[in-house]
A and B are shown apart, each in its own frame.
Chain A
Amino acid sequence: MKFTFKRGVHLSYGGKSATSVLPVREYVTDYVKIPMSMHIGAPSEPCVKKGDLVKIGQVIATPVGPLGLPVHASVSGEVTAVEKIPYLMKDPVTVVSIKNDFKEEWVDLNPLGSVESVDPSMIIPAIRDAGICGMGGASFPTHVKLSLKPNQKCDVIIVNGAECETHLTADHRLMLEYPRRIVDGLRAAMRALNVENGVIAIEDNKPDAIEAMKRAASGRDGVSVCELRTKYPQGGEKQLIEAVTKKQVPSGGLPIDIGVIVLNVGTCAAIADAIIDGMPLIKRITTITGCVRHPANLMLPVGTIVEDIIGFLGGFPEEPGKITFGGAMTGLCIPNMQIPMMKSTNGIVVFNEREAMSMEEGPCIRCAKCVHACPIGLNPYRIKVEADADRLDAAKKLNVMDCMLCGCCSYVCPSRRWLSASFKIVKEKLIRQAKGGQKA
């Protein structure tokens, strides 16, 4: 039986075919820029300065605040600059630039051994010290997600291997090449929280990955593989929970409220690396595809600069129009080629000028396609009316805060209205309003 959720859209997944059969290759640059805010929460505080020599895995920034994470050097060499550069967000971000000396010097790692024998209370601190955040895109610190309040109880951990975004194949390749690591990471999370059930959920357009994960999961306590129907946004946290458990996360609530935790496959593999090898999160698999000469799945040190990656893959065959971190639906545009990739960059997709062109916005024709597409069941066209008029309270009443900006409404709109883009602004304004209210 294949599981799914209500509504959503069926995308064309042709973009995946270019890289889904390519094995992961290793690529190490001679120069990395490591951003200090790769996770949600306050940016980490750099603890190295210009001229310092760092080893691979050395802590170069210490966490700040409750959602903070440490940052580790991904190459060995000399720190050439600690500076602010414009990044994907509104405000500039501090980056630590390291020139690689290719000596491959590592700090002393502290492996904890097999995930089945390690002391469960050691697991969450190890995850925090490894600097692991969600690797599917939202980059929420994983140790915070796994730290339950006394009144919370987790019944099932779902591993998200849906990869419903277009173009991306990083998780697919990870599942094919490191299936045991993913299961190990899941077992570690299950043992840390004393959870009986672990479900690995994969869309049915990746039958080879389902096969590989089933093989890796056989004989492990409580781990099962669940086949999902291919539909966007199947990999959205709440949609995945609805598909697997048939339960809905309450409005404004978190998955833990109904006893579920969702982890990305990349996060699970990183957890396994942190426990078994003591290795911090300094590398990840990223899909580079679209308008590049040789699309590939690369294992990249965190902080590799986009220009170097594109150069390694033979440059652009034609003039690029837009480059996004992430897939076509939820990816963020990058402003220039000097931008480094981060822990949650699961793909770098290059669009040519024709693909990147925006359509002119037309008037709403009340066709209600967006209503049929919204996986949460909102009324996007009505929220858009309120958003355009800047009526925040009315938009809030229409539950705009539950919108997860999947982009289904914008995708199906025949008038090419900027639906999810305007919801993003409304959400930001409402969050700012709420924060202002707390201070006052």
Chain B
Amino acid sequence: MMNILFAAVVLSALGLAFGLILTFAEKKFRVDVDERIAEVRACLGGANCGACGYAGCDNFAEAVVKGEAKPNSCPPAGEKGAKEIAAIMGVETSVEEMKVPRVLCSGRAGVAFSRYRYDGYRNCAVADGLAGGPKMCRFSCIGLGDCMDHCVMGAISIVDGLAVIDYDKCISCGECAKHCPRGAIQMMPVSQTVYVNCRNTDNAREAKSVCMSACIGCGRCKRECKYDAIYIENFFAHIDPEKCTRCGACASVCPCTAIKDLINGLPHRPNFY
């Protein structure tokens, strides 16, 4: 009987002592972890792609809560995510439209003229340094896959010497645009479904001598546009996304099939006359 009582008293005393120590430690060494970090983390894309400029999603969530990063700088989370994060943080956010990468070149093999047959290291930057690349056009997609190598989602493939993006897989992190040595991939608002699929700013004669599908700045699209959304600069048609209504009239008249209309699926014609 005595033994049991003794054990019970000792254990209770120990429990009390440890309880006091824990209480003291809890009061004294308390670290405030903001529960918002976990909430913000849950709104993000979760791919650890690094598009925000931070070392992964956890790091970004911390930065948002500290106020270092803006709620709308996670491209994969998009508009919805940015709004949710802003609600958690209780701040206003200007929700920027989601941007997607577009390969601004229609110079497939056979459409863009070839300068030489390239058989070396499969790297765009190397080929670009060799007499200006294997394609005659100095603005073209080189098509050796630097973007493909840097795509964390495996969304890019090279088809006919041209980078093709699978938008089902793409999370709009922008790594491809960053690693293109020519800047042939650019980030565009997702709603801009009509765009000039070329970057050639040389004059018509030069542009036509390097690629069948180059924009030559002829101005037919400008005449066709009812909304005054197109202007020609440096022998190149620029479409003003503010004025453009995405009607696609320009794409249907472009003699070089250089304007792409994603909604109407233009150009229908293959890239030659």
Residues of A within 8 A of B (CB): 86-92, 322, 332-336, 356-358, 361, 388, 390, 418, 421-422, 424-425, 428-429
Contacts and interface: CB of A to CB of B under 8 A. Distances in A.
A335 B126 contact: no
A388 B149 CA distance: 9
A358 B115 contact: no
A291 B123 CA distance: 28
A336 B126 CA distance: 18
A332 B130 CA distance: 8
A355 to B, nearest CB: 12
Contacts of A92: 132
A336 B118 CA distance: 12
B121 interface: yes
B113 to A, nearest CB: 12
B108 interface: no
Contacts of B1: none
B123 A358 contact: no
A87 B123 contact: no
A336 B115 CA distance: 8
A334 B131 contact: yes
The 8 closest A-B pairs by CB, nearest first: A335-B131, A418-B121, A421-B121, A335-B116, A425-B125, A358-B119, A86-B132, A90-B129
Contacts of A90: 128-129, 131-132
B115 to A, nearest CB: 5
Nearest to A360: B122
B130 A333 contact: yes
Given A86-B115, A86-B131, A86-B132, A358 B120 contact: yes
Given A335-B116, A335-B132, 7 more contacts: A91-B132, A333-B131, A390-B179, A418-B120, A421-B123, A422-B123, A425-B126
The interface size bin for chain B is 10 to 19
Contacts of A88: 130-131
A147 B95 CA distance: 60
B150 interface: yes
7 contacts: A88-B130, A89-B132, A333-B131, A335-B131, A390-B179, A421-B121, A428-B129
A25 B54 CA distance: 64
Nearest to B133: A90
Nearest to B179: A390
Contacts of A390: 150, 179
A336 B114 CA distance: 11
A93 B43 CA distance: 52
B119 A356 contact: yes
A425 B149 CA distance: 15
Interface in B93-150: 115-116, 119-123, 125-126, 128-132, 149-150
Contacts of B128: 90
Contact of B131 (A89, A358, A418, A425): A89
B178 to A, nearest CB: 10
A351 to B, nearest CB: 11
B132 A418 contact: no
A368 B250 CA distance: 58
Nearest to B131: A335
In this complex, which of A87, A88, A91, A335 has the most chain B Cβ atoms within 10 angstroms of its Cβ? Answer: A335
Nearest to A333: B130
B150 A335 contact: no
